[in-house]
Protein backbone atom coordinates (compact mmCIF):
# COMPACT_ATOMS: atom_id res chain seq x y z
CA UNK A 1 0.00 0.00 0.00
CA UNK A 2 1.16 3.50 -0.73
CA UNK A 3 1.28 6.29 1.86
CA UNK A 4 -1.87 7.77 0.29
CA UNK A 5 -3.62 4.38 0.54
CA UNK A 6 -2.77 4.20 4.27
CA UNK A 7 -4.11 7.72 4.82
CA UNK A 8 -7.30 7.00 2.87
CA UNK A 9 -7.90 3.81 4.89
CA UNK A 10 -7.79 5.62 8.22
CA UNK A 11 -9.81 8.57 6.98
CA UNK A 12 -12.39 5.96 6.03
CA UNK A 13 -12.12 4.32 9.48
CA UNK A 14 -12.66 7.60 11.33
CA UNK A 15 -15.29 9.09 9.00
CA UNK A 16 -17.44 6.00 8.48
CA UNK A 17 -16.54 3.80 11.47
CA UNK A 18 -16.18 5.91 14.58
CA UNK A 19 -17.96 9.05 13.39
CA UNK A 20 -20.96 7.35 11.76
CA UNK A 21 -20.96 3.96 13.50
CA UNK A 22 -20.69 1.81 10.36
CA UNK A 23 -19.32 -1.43 11.82
CA UNK A 24 -18.76 -2.97 8.36
CA UNK A 25 -15.64 -0.77 8.22
CA UNK A 26 -13.93 -3.07 10.71
CA UNK A 27 -13.50 -5.99 8.27
CA UNK A 28 -11.97 -3.67 5.68
CA UNK A 29 -9.46 -2.03 8.02
CA UNK A 30 -8.43 -4.58 10.65
CA UNK A 31 -6.93 -8.08 10.49
CA UNK A 32 -8.80 -10.88 12.25
CA UNK A 33 -6.00 -11.14 14.83
CA UNK A 34 -5.59 -7.37 15.36
CA UNK A 35 -4.16 -6.32 18.75
CA UNK A 36 -4.77 -2.84 20.18
CA UNK A 37 -2.82 -1.30 23.05
CA UNK A 38 -4.55 1.33 25.18
CA UNK A 39 -2.98 2.39 28.50
CA UNK A 40 -6.40 3.42 29.86
CA UNK A 41 -7.96 0.03 29.09
CA UNK A 42 -6.46 -2.87 31.02
CA UNK A 43 -8.04 -5.38 28.64
CA UNK A 44 -6.27 -5.20 25.29
CA UNK A 45 -8.57 -5.13 22.29
CA UNK A 46 -7.96 -8.21 20.19
CA UNK A 47 -9.64 -9.03 16.93
CA UNK A 48 -12.40 -7.50 14.89
CA UNK A 49 -15.19 -8.25 17.38
CA UNK A 50 -13.39 -6.22 20.08
CA UNK A 51 -12.97 -3.32 17.63
CA UNK A 52 -16.70 -3.44 16.88
CA UNK A 53 -17.47 -3.50 20.61
CA UNK A 54 -15.12 -0.54 21.17
CA UNK A 55 -16.87 1.56 18.50
CA UNK A 56 -20.29 0.59 19.86
CA UNK A 57 -19.30 1.47 23.45
CA UNK A 58 -17.82 4.80 22.37
CA UNK A 59 -20.87 5.76 20.29
CA UNK A 60 -23.29 4.63 23.04
CA UNK A 61 -21.66 7.00 25.52
CA UNK A 62 -21.04 9.81 22.99
CA UNK A 63 -23.52 9.41 20.08
CA UNK A 64 -22.30 12.60 18.42
CA UNK A 65 -18.60 11.73 18.74
CA UNK A 66 -16.56 13.09 15.84
CA UNK A 67 -12.88 12.53 15.18
CA UNK A 68 -11.13 15.22 13.16
CA UNK A 69 -7.77 14.28 11.63
CA UNK A 70 -5.11 16.91 12.21
CA UNK A 71 -2.05 15.16 10.77
CA UNK A 72 -1.05 11.86 9.18
CA UNK A 73 2.50 10.53 9.01
CA UNK A 74 3.32 7.36 7.10
CA UNK A 75 6.61 5.46 7.38
CA UNK A 76 6.58 2.20 5.44
CA UNK A 77 3.92 -0.02 7.01
CA UNK A 78 3.26 2.34 9.92
CA UNK A 79 0.90 5.30 10.10
CA UNK A 80 0.48 7.81 12.91
CA UNK A 81 -2.68 9.89 12.97
CA UNK A 82 -2.98 12.94 15.23
CA UNK A 83 -6.60 13.91 15.87
CA UNK A 84 -8.99 15.82 18.04
CA UNK A 85 -12.34 14.41 19.07
CA UNK A 86 -15.51 16.16 20.15
CA UNK A 87 -18.77 14.86 21.55
CA UNK A 88 -21.40 14.96 24.27
CA UNK A 89 -21.58 12.48 27.14
CA UNK A 90 -25.17 11.22 27.01
CA UNK A 91 -24.68 7.54 27.89
CA UNK A 92 -22.77 5.28 30.27
CA UNK A 93 -19.01 5.29 29.68
CA UNK A 94 -17.20 2.45 31.45
CA UNK A 95 -19.52 2.77 34.45
CA UNK A 96 -19.61 6.58 34.42
CA UNK A 97 -23.22 7.77 34.08
CA UNK A 98 -24.02 10.43 31.49
CA UNK A 99 -23.10 13.97 32.49
CA UNK A 100 -24.62 15.75 29.48
CA UNK A 101 -21.36 17.67 29.09
CA UNK A 102 -19.39 18.16 25.89
CA UNK A 103 -15.70 17.50 25.36
CA UNK A 104 -12.91 18.36 22.95
CA UNK A 105 -9.73 16.32 23.38
CA UNK A 106 -6.62 15.47 21.39
CA UNK A 107 -4.92 12.15 20.79
CA UNK A 108 -2.84 10.01 18.48
CA UNK A 109 -3.06 6.53 17.04
CA UNK A 110 -0.15 4.55 15.65
CA UNK A 111 -1.06 1.56 13.49
CA UNK A 112 1.09 -1.12 11.90
CA UNK A 113 -0.13 -2.62 8.65
CA UNK A 114 0.26 -6.27 7.65
CA UNK A 115 1.27 -7.59 4.26
CA UNK A 116 -2.40 -7.89 3.22
CA UNK A 117 -3.01 -4.17 3.75
CA UNK A 118 -4.99 -4.65 6.96
CA UNK A 119 -4.06 -3.31 10.37
CA UNK A 120 -2.40 -5.90 12.62
CA UNK A 121 -1.45 -3.82 15.67
CA UNK A 122 -2.25 -0.41 17.08
CA UNK A 123 -1.49 1.95 19.94
CA UNK A 124 -3.42 4.96 21.21
CA UNK A 125 -2.56 7.93 23.39
CA UNK A 126 -5.24 10.50 24.23
CA UNK A 127 -6.01 13.22 26.75
CA UNK A 128 -8.06 11.14 29.22
CA UNK A 129 -7.38 13.65 32.02
CA UNK A 130 -8.79 16.45 29.86
CA UNK A 131 -11.81 14.30 29.06
CA UNK A 132 -12.51 13.65 32.75
CA UNK A 133 -12.11 17.34 33.59
CA UNK A 134 -14.43 18.48 30.79
CA UNK A 135 -17.04 15.95 31.90
CA UNK A 136 -16.85 17.43 35.41
CA UNK A 137 -15.45 14.28 36.96
CA UNK A 138 -12.14 15.83 38.12
CA UNK A 139 -11.09 19.26 39.35
Q: What is the pLDDT of residue 81?
A: 98
Query: Beta-carbon neighbour count of residue 106 at 10 Å?
Result: 14
Break the chain into its structural domains and give their ranges: 3-134
Give mean pLDDT, residues 19-45.
89
E-only strand ranges, 5-101: 30-37, 45-46, 66-75, 78-88
E-only strand ranges, the chain: 30-37, 45-46, 66-75, 78-88, 102-113, 119-126
**Ramachandran class of 100: left when φ > 0, alpha when ψ lies in -120 to 50, beta otherwise:** left
Q: Which CATH class is domain 3-134?
A: alpha beta
pLDDT surpasses 80 at 44: no
pTM of the model: 0.90
Q: Which of 77-81, 107-111, 114-118 has the lowest mean pLDDT?
A: 114-118
Q: What angle do CA 107, 7, 109 make, to 5 degrees?
A: 20
Amino acid sequence: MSAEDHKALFRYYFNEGTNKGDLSVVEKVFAADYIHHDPANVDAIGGMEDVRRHITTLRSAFPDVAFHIQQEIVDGDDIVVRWNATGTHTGDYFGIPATGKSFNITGMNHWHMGADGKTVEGWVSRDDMGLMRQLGLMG
